[in-house]
Structures are given as structure tokens and as C-alpha cells.
Structure 1
Amino acid sequence: MTILIPSYEPDQRLIGLIHKLKEVSGDPILIVDDGSGDDYRGIFDTAKNAGCTVLTHRTNQGKGRALKTGFDYVREHGIKDDIVCADSDGQHLPGDILKITEAIRRHRNHIVLGSRQFTGKVPLRSRIGNSATRMVYAMATGKPVQDTQTGLRGYSSEMLDWLCQVQGDRFEYEMNMLLEAPKAGYDLYEVPIETVYLDDNKSSHFRPLADSAKVYFPFLKFCASSGFAAVLDFALLFLLQWMFGSLFLSVIGARLCSSIFNYTVNRKIVFAGRAQTTARTSIPKYFSLAVAIVLLNYGLLHLFHVNVGIPLFGSKLITEISLFLLSFWVQLKLIFKSA
């Protein structure tokens, strides 16, 4: 077993974690200095003196790239070890790291996740961030996961080649890994661990806006595609009405053009990495979904507004959000599914 710790601008908590691990485990520790610079050389030198292997990036390249550097090192040196990845900020307890070690031995070819339960005092941005990524992952895969953002993870040695091929260099890498695992034939296994946040998680280098955008990028692309299609539908409705004076033709023409636009963008851009189906097989599915969405729109509006008695605005909002999420899931899992 190799314990891999990606690290950027660490403090003495990294050294504390190393000493605690040495007390409970004889497993080698591999640290990747992700371009921390000369100011942090003393900490990494101390880690070397403690018996750790330290690899160094000249510049900061991101957590995903640091992990891949560690995976590459293990792979290229012919080490047949399983790997446990832990963060360097002291928020993963040695006992929990050992739990992951044991779980990997029992669950081969699984991504073993150290899943925090988020009890006690949890920083607001961490609580919101984890809730959001849990929702996106469950919606994208149909499988709920307690902690999609955990940095404490374990991998079987057989998975190393695949781990080096997963896209992403920063925090999005770990989310991409979870999204790509099912089609690669790997399942997930969760092990409950302690929820530890030190100093309100101030040591985290996660950038809420930039890194969140990368984590949620597939869903954001779908939102943008749907938004542009809605604007196109709106504009064409008025243009066709002005040109032909027929509301029926204007509605049908605008919806047809915006649907073709939306289909093309979704197939070529939004789900480009997954779309293994041909246009001949995906077009009928897409437009069948479009028809179903129109029928469901009316049915749900009638249910919420007439039968349940929710005001029209609220009924429309619930309906649109529900159908938007349904459309994303159906296109991801059925229309543009990977081979």
C-alpha cells in the first residue's frame, strides 16, 4: 500500500500527519509538492528526512495533476501497490486512512471513498458545496453518494492506468473520476469517516467560483445549451409571426428550429465525450423526448395548479425545474449514452 498526499503550500500539519502515520503504519508515503515554492522547501525537506518520497512540480498545476504525478510514479516504478490518497491539511485522521486501506483489500476494482457524515460544526461553503455536488452526481448517474468531494480515497493497483487517463488537472479531476467510473467498470464503496474541519477549512485551496465551475461544467453546459435554445425559440416565434402572420406555423417553426439547435449543441458539445450513438439513432430518441416533455408540461401544470391548487406561477416553476432535470438525465443516460 502507498499513501499518496498531494500538497500545495502546506503547514506543520503535514509533518504532524506524517509522524502519526508512521506510528500506526509501515506503508510508504509519497508526497507531491505541487509548486509550493522555496518558502515551503523546509517542510518538504523535513518530510524527506522522515522517510517520505517527495516529487516536485516547478509550478502549481492543480490537485488532479499532482495526483496523476503520484499515480505515474507508482506505475512507472513497477510498484504493485494499492493507493490511498489523503489531503495534507490534517483533516484526515490516521485511523480513517487505515480504514480505507482495509476496505481496498476487501473491495478490488472499487473507488473507496472516505465519506464524511457532515455532523457537528461544518463551514457553510463546505456544506453547500457538498450538497450541490451530491445533487449533480445523483442526477447525472442515478446513484446517490454521501460525499463526492472527499479527498480521502482508495484505489486498487489495477486501476492505475485508468486513473492517469481521466480528464482534469484541478479539483474537477476527482468529480470526473466519479462520473467516469461506471462506464469504466468500476463501482464505488463508501466508508464512514470523521468530519474534521480545522479553522473553518481556511487551509483549503479550493476556489469557490473557478473550481466549482469546472466541477459542474457538464451540467453548466447543458444549462447554457437549453438557455440559448429558449432565446432562439422566443426570437424565431416573433420573426416567423411577422413574416407569415400564422401563430400556429410560427410556434411549430420556432420550436422545430430551436430543437434542432439544442440537439446539435448537446450532441457535439454538451455530451461530446459520451456520445457514441449515431445521429440516426439519437435523433428519434431526442424528438420523442421533446414530445414527451410537451405532454408532461401540460399534465404536470394541470396536476399542480388545478388538482393540488398551487398558484400558476409556482406550478410553472416546479414543472419547468422538474422537466429540466428529467431532460438532462434522459439525454445523459439514454440518448447520448456512452458505449
Structure 2
Amino acid sequence: MIILIPAYEPDAQLLELIGAVRAAAPSLNLVVVDDGSGPAYGQIFDGARRAGVHVIAHPVNRGKGSALKTGFAFILDRFPGQDVVCADSDGQHSVVDILRVAERAGTDASSMVLGARAFAGGVPARSRIGNAATRLLFRLATGERIPDTQTGLRGYPAGMLPWLLTVGGERYEYELNVLLEAKAAGYRIASVGIATIYLDHNAGSHFRPLADSIRVYAPLLKFLLSSFAGFLIDTVAFLTLSAATGSVLGAVVGARCLSATANFLINRRLVFRHGRDKPASAAAARYFLLALFLLMANYALLTALAGAGVADLPAKLLTELALLAVSYAIQQRFLFAAGHKPDLVPAQPRHSFAVNRSK
């Protein structure tokens, strides 16, 4: 079992964590990735080396996802066949919880293990809200309930490492992408309850609320922008065709055809990562059926809400929001899902790593 710790500008918490792991489980190997922290943090990483830790350094900051992939590649090269537990460097994970996840991670070659926090007590608002938002996004995209989608304490069986190197994302979005793509790759997600620890209101976190949230929520944000673009196209086309032909029915049908075509092309090429895995003709046929379903559902919901006495504008807004969620879930999970299960054990090239190790 290998403990992998990505670290960017860490404080003494990193050395305390290393010392506690060494005391509790002397046989475990630890790998730390210095993600471009710079010379000012050299003493911290020198201390890790003196403690017998393998330290790999990025020359510049590349992001947590990139640091994790560097660690996975190093472990595949130097410790083939070893399971991995990833832990954060800022003191959020106790040694007891790290070892509990490590024990569970080695029991099932097809499951990753998440250390799931309960979010009880004095949890910073941004962490509580952020986790609630990503839980909702994850359930919308996959249909699965995960209690903690943002946890950095995760256990991966050895056979999963080659696939982890293929998942997109270089910064905080990487860990959510791993969860979103696990099912298509044939992996399950298990959870182990852990303590919720935030030191100094999570002051040691390098998460940037605006920039990193945009990265994490990019798939949903792109879908919303794509849907808004379709709405604009539909509106402009309807007004143009109505004025040109004088036929409301013709304008509605023509506008919907134009907006649906544009929405399909945008979603297939730009929004969903696996949008082009399937042939365009097959995907277009399924999208047409989805569009028909949504059109009928739109009419049925509007009729039901009107019958219940809801005014037209609120009824329209409620209907569109409900169907937007349904449309995203269907396209993410079925229409533009991964077309095939990737090779889980590809041949791995040998890597040359600059690393200082104790004897």
C-alpha cells in the first residue's frame, strides 16, 4: 500500500501527518508530490525526505489533478501492483481514517473507496455549500448518491491506476471527473465514514472559490450555456419565420428544428467529453427521440400546472427547469456516455523521475 500526498505550499501539518503515519504503520511507503511550491517551502520537503518519503517535484504549479497523475505514474513505475491511498497535506485527514480507507481499498479490485465526511459541526460555509452542489450535480449526471464528492481521502486498487492516468482534468476538477467517469469504466464507488476536520476554518486550502468552481462545474455550466444558446436561436428563428411566413405552426416547427440541430452539435462537440464516441447518425437519431420526448413532456407539464391554477409564466419556468435537469441527465448518462469500456491495463512506459529517497 502506498500513501500519496499532493502538496502545494504546505505547512508543518504535512510533516506531522508523515510522522503520524510512520508511527502507526512503519511498513507503508509514502510519496509526496511537490506541486511547484517554490524554494520558500524547501525545508518542509527536505524534512519529508529525511523521514524516508519519496518526494517528486513539479518545477511550477500544475494543479492537484496533475500532481495526482504524476504520483500515479511514479507508483506504477516504482511500485507496480501496489494499491494507493490519496490524502491531503493540510491536516484534514486523521491517520486512523487514512488507515481505515487503506484497509478497505485492498479488498475489491473494481471499487474505489472514498473517505466520506459527515459535514456536522463547525464546517466552513463554502465547504458545506460546495459539497452539496457537487453532490447534486453528481446525482444528476450519474443517478448515484455519493455522500462526499469532494473528499481528498480516496483509496484506489492497483489495477485502477492506468485508467486514472487517462481521466481528464489538471486541477480540482480532476477528482470529480474520476467519479463521473468511473461507472462507464466499469468501476464502483464505495464510501467509508471519516471524521470532518477543518483546521482554522480550512485556511490552508488553496481552492479558489471562483476559478476552481468554474473548473469543477464546467460540464454543467457548458450545458446551461448550450441550452441558453438554443433558446436564443429558437426565439430569433421563430420571430423571423413568423414574420416571413405568417404561419405560427410553421414558425414553431422551423425554429425548433434549427435550435435542436444547433444544440445537438454544440453538446456533441463541446459539452460532453464522450460526445463523439458514437457515430453522428446514431447520436442524432437518439437526440431526435429525446427532443420529441421533451416536447411531449413540456406540453404535459404545462397543461398539468395550468390545471392546478399556476400562472403561465411560473408554469413555464418550472417546466423548463425540470426538463433541463432531465435533459442533462439523459444526455450525460446515455446519449453522450462513453462508447466503450477502456483498456484497464495498458502497457505502461518506463518513466524517469527525479526523486530523493532515503536508504
TM range (shorter): over 0.9
CA distance in 2, matches of 1:252, 1:72: 53
Aligned partners of 1:311 and 1:252: how far apart in 2? 25
Q: Aligned-pair distance for 1:184?
A: 1.2
Kept in 1, the 8 Å contact 2:182–2:188? The answer is yes
Residue of structure 1 equivalent to 2:285: 284
1:299 Cα deviation (Å)?
Answer: 1.4
| CA deviation map 1:266-310 (0-9, x unaligned) | 122222424422232222221222122122112112223323x44
Moved more, 310-319 or 291-300: 310-319
Alignment of 1:35-184 (within 5 A): 35-184=36-185
SS of 2:209's equivalent in the other structure is coil
Unaligned residue ranges in structure 2 (runs of 5+) = 340-359
Aligned 1:209-288 pairs, distance under 5 A: 209-288=210-289
1:92 is paired with a residue of what secondary structure?
coil
Task: Give 1:107 shift.
Answer: 2.2
Give the superposition deviation at 1:260. Answer: 1.0
Cα contact 1:33–1:54 (8 A) shared by 2: yes
Contact 1:275 1:338 in 2 (8 A): no
1:325 equivalent in structure 2 = 325
* Structure 1 residue aligned with 2:349: none
SS in 2 for 1:3: strand
1:27-48 Cα offsets, whole Å, 9 max, x none, are 1111111111111101111111
Q: How far is the alpha carbon of 1:84 from its aligned partner?
A: 0.5
Q: Which residue of 1 aligns with 2:30?
A: 29
Return the alpha-carbon distance in structure 2 between the equivalents of residues 13 and 21 of structure 1.
12
Aligned 8 A contact 2:274 2:337 in 1: no
How many residues align? The count is 338
Instruction: Tell me which protein shows more helix as a share of its residues.
Output: 1
| 1:195 paired residue number | 196
The 1:85/1:322 distance shift into structure 2, 3 A limit, reads same
CA contact (8 A) 1:34 1:63 kept: yes
Which residue of 2 is the match for residue 20 of structure 1?
20
Contact 1:275 1:337 in 2 (8 A): no
Q: TM-score, normalised by structure 2?
A: 0.91
8 Å contact kept, 2:267–2:275: no
Deviation at 1:311, TM superposition (A): 4.0
SS of the equivalent of 2:307 reads: helix
Which structure carries more relative contact order (alpha carbon 8 Å, separation 6+)? 2
Confirm or deny: 8 A CA contact 1:2 1:29 kept in the other structure: yes
Task: Tell me the secondary structure at the aligned position of residue 149 of structure 2.
Answer: coil
Q: Percent identity?
A: 46
8 Å CA contact 2:36, 2:61 repeated in 1: yes
Equivalent-residue separation in structure 2 for 1:62 and 1:334 (angstroms): 30
- Alpha-carbon distance in structure 1 between the residues aligned to 2:184 and 2:153: 22
SS in 2 for 1:154: strand
Question: What CA RMSD, in Å, does the superposition of the two structures yield over aligned residues?
Answer: 1.4
Task: Say which SS state the counterpart of residue 4 (structure 1) adopts.
Answer: strand
2-structure distance, mates of 1:246, 1:298: 20
Q: d(CA) in 2 for partners of 1:15 and 1:38?
A: 17
Distance 1:75 1:205, change over 3 A: same
Give the deviation of 1:198 after TM superposition. Answer: 0.9
Structure 1 length as normaliser, TM-score? 0.96
Structure 1 segments unaligned to the other structure (5+ residues): none
Task: Determine the C-alpha separation between the residues in 1 that align with 2:106 and 2:96.
Answer: 16
